Amino acid sequence: MSAGITSSVSISSAVSGGRMEVPPGMTGLWQVSGRSSLTFDEMVRLDLFYIENWSVGFDMALMMRTVPAVLFASGAY
């Protein structure tokens, strides 16, 4: 499968999964799970996982993971 087809599939699943309907936040699951080292497909999958499994507890855990990700620049170039 070519890169163009893979990206089209990811974009299609992102739109149909509601990813584009959720407002962006200060952090996200993909930002604390590898950031720049993740592929676009992995980023979309993590965003969709977050949307489908959202809870206050999940957000609290995500915020706690954000602090070390920012301080140590993990996954950033």
Per-residue pLDDT at 28: 82
Instruction: Give pTM, 2 decimals.
Output: 0.65
Mean pLDDT by 10 residues, the chain (77 residues): 53 61 75 83 87 90 88 69
Give SS3 for 22: coil
With tokens 């999958």, the residue in question is 45
Per-residue pLDDT at 61: 93
CB-count burial class (<10 Å; 0-12, 13-18, 19+) for 57: exposed
